């Protein structure tokens, strides 16, 4: 089949065709898909070959969409059947504009030589054929747009024998298109450079002596990976254990233990040990591959600002034609009228704006911030309300033992920790990890049980020597008949501080209490203060946890609005209510239970260390760093919109100058082209090739609220 599914979440599907194939059939594909009930929006991009489909998941199923795509693709191109010969692709997005610049530049150079007028006229019109063809199609639809204006200017210049000005006009347009194309290509390369490429060979478990190419791997294969090797696939560990560095995928700096049954991801690296991994997904179907595909597909899309500017430029065509006529009459010079025809916003809309936007996406990618396209960038710049999920976002998501209390005359804190650690040995839930960690930090010897520990609901039972040890929750202790009156005061204090409690009893008598807290991220307070400095209308905390821990976190961060005990659909409903109030909402989350809220928000932001589904649902994915990256993403979006405004101001100033000078007979076509088109293309070129270094600490601290 010609297409493959590049990205899929509930309500949104993105498929990718070969760009040459979609270029010829884009309108037919869009029209065919829109005919399906439940389709909200379809947008194709011939530059990337992607088609994004937004649909109502209640009215149409994803399987129905795929069936429709299959039938539509077959109808548009019968040779697209499986196994059909693939047509060679035309010039790449980098080669075609480059050749256009070379060709139009050659004609510009020839126009300076004393060649015959018919020859020069033919060469100029040949290089201007794309503009003339676009204008003809527009006139066929009875539309006056920028293409008609540019073609009219080119034709008039050629008819009047001003071949140098005509050649300059086509060369500047080609140069502008090259700047945009190269910006898109560079942005895609920047995204790919964020993740180490996976290539080379791996060993199959059934034949470890012979390595196979990564490209030959298929789902279901089992491969062997040792220390220092990079995973080329998403898979599941089926044998062995290892320390795996997942920083490229989750942002977590410390390697994590991977055992049988654990998932592993492409672009991560085995630091120690050896594992056999069953291949689950390869290539662009891997988690990191889908994120990269989403960014690459979005890089060539038009922003809403660009669409608006192009529409405005088209609306201004009649005014420009009128001004050209008046200018020619006032100055009694046809050249003055032609000079005014050059003054339009088309170049700014087609060249200046997309260059600024795509370059901003590249800058963000270089800083580890993946913004999924121009529309996400624009929405990010409009955000005035930020909603944080608590666990794993504002907090670390890992529990720590913050207090140990011992009860009874013969007990001490270390004995309580030893017994609790003995009970939790072999378990991997957060409480067990926290208790094991404090025992390790205190260098305690953990006693061995004389019988296997038994997990019983919300607690554990084990025997240490001749003693029966119980470790668990209040409910577990009550069911076992253990009195907790002696711990009532300490338990109440722990709950007021937002902590959770675990009790330890020996032979049905209360022995100790452990208080556990989810740690606030060290940069959470700074991030919230930075958002306030940017005049956010509100910063909100929400959580699926109990109200008390959420209240403590909210009070610590001085957040007046916080919500607790929310299910995933409750979080999405809250975001929906905020948007109905006219707020532009960014949702910052990391977990599976945040995916619905990330989709519902104007901008979903997935933080480092988050779940794969959160990264796919989000509009912005933070690959590294802390919550300061959320603030930096907002700043980059504001800077991008500021750059767009400066581009429009430059174009407006240049065009106003051209109209004024030409009306007075002081500007000829050549000068007008250089002022109007040349200045805009020059600004775009400066933006595209300018140094895009990482911000220094001072730059990162300087805030500018661009509205």
Q: Which residues are catalytic?
A: 389
The pLDDT-based confidence of 505 (bands split at 50, 70, 90) is very high
Calpha distance 588→390 (Å, rounded): 9
pLDDT in tens, 608-638: 765 555 666 788 888 777 788 899 999 999 9
- How are beta strands 385-389 and 263-264 bridged, if at all? unpaired
CA angle 424, 430, 436 (to 5 degrees): 40
DSSP letter, residue 351:
I
| Residues constituting the chain | 707
The CA-CA-CA angle for residues 654, 657, 663, to 5°, reads: 140
Asked if 458 and 473 touch (Cβ cutoff 8 Å), the reply is yes
Give the residues across from 517 on adjacent strands: 400
Name the 3-class secondary structure at 625.
coil
Sign of CA dihedral 661, 667, 670, 674: negative
Using CB atoms within 10 Å of the CB of residue 434, give its burial: 0 to 12 exposed, 13 to 18 middle, 19+ buried.
Answer: buried
**Interacting residues of 685 by C-beta distance below 8 A, sequence separation 6+:** 175, 179
Which residues lie closer than 8 Å to 141 by C-beta, 6 or more apart?
none
Are 627 and 521 within 8 A, CB to CB? yes
Of residues 268 and 369, more confidently modeled: 369
**Residue 257 phi, psi (nearest 5):** -75, 135
- Please say if the pLDDT value at position 85 is more than 60: no
Q: How confident is the model at residue 295 (pLDDT cuts 50, 70, 90)?
A: low
Considering the entire predicted model, what is its pTM?
0.65
Return the structure tokens found at 312.
């405005």
Is the model's pLDDT at 253 over the cut of 60? no
DSSP-derived 3-state class of residue 118: helix
Partners of 461 in beta bridges: 454, 470
Look at residue 514 in the predicted model and tell me its pLDDT.
93
The DSSP-derived string for 544-571 is: SS-HHHHHHHHHHHT-S-EE-S--HHHH
Place of tokens 């254990």: 241
- Concatenating the DSSP letter of every residue in 301-348 gives SPPHHHHHHHHHHHHTHHHHHHHHHHHHHHHT-HHHHHHHHT--SHHI
Q: What is the DSSP letter of 619?
A: S
Dist CA 351 CA 175 (whole Å): 9
- The secondary structure element, H or E, covering residue 518 is strand 509-520
Place of tokens 């084990």: 462
Find out whether 431 and 473 touch, Cβ atoms under 8 Å: no
Region of poorest pLDDT, from 203-212, 237-246, 379-388, 652-661:
203-212
Task: Find how far residue 163's CA is from the centre of its chain.
Answer: 46
- pLDDT at residue number 568: 79
Helix (H, G, I), strand (E, B) or coil at 151: helix
CB 289 within 8 A of CB 5: no
Residue 452 has φ and ψ, to the nearest 5°, of -60, 140
CA distance 590 to 393: 6
DSSP code per residue over 409-427: TT--HHHHHHHHHHHHTT-
Q: For residue 372, what are the β-bridge partners?
A: none
Q: What is the DSSP letter of 230?
A: B
pLDDT (tens digit per residue) in 653-702: 887 887 777 777 677 788 788 888 888 888 888 877 764 444 433 334 33
* Average pLDDT value for the chain: 78
Strands 222-225 and 269-282: antiparallel
Structure confidence by residue, pLDDT tens digits, 102-131? 878 888 888 888 888 888 888 888 888 887
């Amino acid at each position: 089949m010609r297409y493959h599914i590049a990205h899929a979440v509930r309500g949104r599907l993105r498929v990718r065709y070969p760009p040459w194939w979609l270029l010829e059939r884009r309108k037919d594909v869009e029209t065919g898909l829109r005919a399906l009930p439940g389709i909200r929006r379809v947008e194709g991009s011939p530059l990337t070959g992607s088609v994004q489909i937004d649909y109502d998941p209640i009215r149409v199923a994803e399987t129905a969409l795929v069936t429709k795509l299959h039938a539509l693709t077959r109808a548009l191109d019968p040779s697209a059947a499986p196994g059909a010969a693939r047509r060679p692709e035309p010039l790449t997005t980098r080669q075609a504009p480059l050749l256009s610049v070379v060709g139009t530049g050659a004609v510009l150079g020839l126009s300076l030589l004393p060649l015959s007028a018919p020859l020069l006229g033919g060469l100029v019109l040949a290089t201007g054929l794309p503009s003339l063809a676009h204008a003809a199609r527009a006139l066929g639809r009875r539309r006056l747009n920028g293409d008609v204006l540019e073609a009219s200017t080119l034709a008039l210049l050629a008819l009047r024998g001003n071949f140098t000005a005509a050649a300059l006009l086509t060369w500047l347009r080609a140069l502008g298109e090259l700047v945009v194309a190269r910006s898109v290509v560079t942005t895609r390369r920047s995204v790919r450079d964020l993740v180490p490429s996976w290539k080379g060979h791996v060993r199959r478990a059934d034949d470890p002596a012979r390595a196979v190419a990564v490209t030959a791997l298929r789902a279901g294969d089992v491969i062997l990976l040792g220390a220092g090797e990079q995973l080329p696939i998403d898979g599941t560990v089926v044998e062995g254990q290892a320390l795996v560095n997942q920083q490229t995928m989750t942002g977590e700096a410390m390697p994590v233990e991977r055992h049988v049954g654990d998932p592993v991801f492409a672009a991560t690296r085995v630091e120690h040990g050896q594992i056999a991994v069953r291949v689950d997904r390869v290539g662009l179907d891997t988690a990191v591959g889908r994120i990269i595909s989403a960014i690459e597909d979005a890089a060539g899309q038009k922003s809403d600002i660009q669409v608006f500017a192009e529409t405005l430029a088209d609306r201004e065509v009649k005014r420009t034609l009128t001004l050209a006529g008046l200018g020619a009459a006032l100055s009694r010079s046809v050249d003055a009228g032609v000079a005014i025809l050059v003054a339009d916003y088309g170049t700014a809309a087609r060249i200046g704006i997309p260059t600024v936007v795509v370059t901003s996406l590249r800058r963000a990618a270089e800083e580890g911030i993946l913004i999924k396209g121009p529309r996400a960038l624009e929405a990010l710049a409009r955000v005035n309300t930020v909603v944080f999920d608590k666990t794993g976002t504002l907090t670390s998501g890992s529990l720590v033992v913050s207090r140990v209390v011992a009860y009874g005359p013969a007990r001490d804190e270390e004995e309580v920790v030893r017994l609790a650690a003995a009970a939790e040995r072999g378990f991997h839930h957060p409480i067990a990890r926290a208790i094991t960690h404090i025992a390790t930090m205190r260098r305690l010897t953990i006693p061995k049980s004389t019988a296997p520990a038994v997990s019983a609901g919300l607690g554990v039972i084990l025997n240490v020597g001749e003693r029966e040890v119980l470790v668990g929750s209040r409910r577990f202790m009550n069911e076992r008949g253990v009195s907790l009156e002696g711990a009532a005061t300490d338990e109440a204090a722990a709950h007021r501080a937002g902590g959770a409690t675990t009790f330890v009893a020996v032979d049905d008598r209360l022995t100790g209490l452990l208080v556990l807290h989810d740690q606030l991220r060290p940069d959470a307070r700074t991030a919230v203060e930075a958002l306030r400095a940017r005049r956010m209308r509100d910063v909100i905390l929400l959580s699926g946890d109990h109200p008390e821990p959420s209240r403590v976190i909210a009070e610590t961060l001085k957040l007046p609005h916080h919500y607790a005990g929310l299910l995933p659909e409750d979080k999405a409903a809250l975001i929906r209510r905020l948007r109905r109030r006219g707020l532009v909402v960014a949702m910052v989350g990391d977990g599976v239970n945040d995916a619905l809220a990330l989709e519902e928000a104007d901008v979903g932001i997935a933080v480092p260390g988050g779940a794969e589904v959160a990264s796919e649902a989000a509009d912005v994915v933070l690959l590294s760093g802390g919550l300061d990256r959320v603030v930096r993403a907002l700043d980059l979006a504001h800077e991008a919109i500021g750059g767009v405004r400066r581009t429009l101001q430059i174009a407006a100033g240049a065009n106003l100058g051209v109209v004024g000078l030409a009306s007075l007979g002081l500007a000829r076509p050549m000068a007008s082209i250089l002022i109007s088109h040349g200045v805009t293309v020059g600004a775009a070129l400066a933006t595209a090739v300018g140094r895009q270094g990482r911000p220094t600490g001072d730059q990162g601290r300087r805030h500018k609220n661009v509205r």
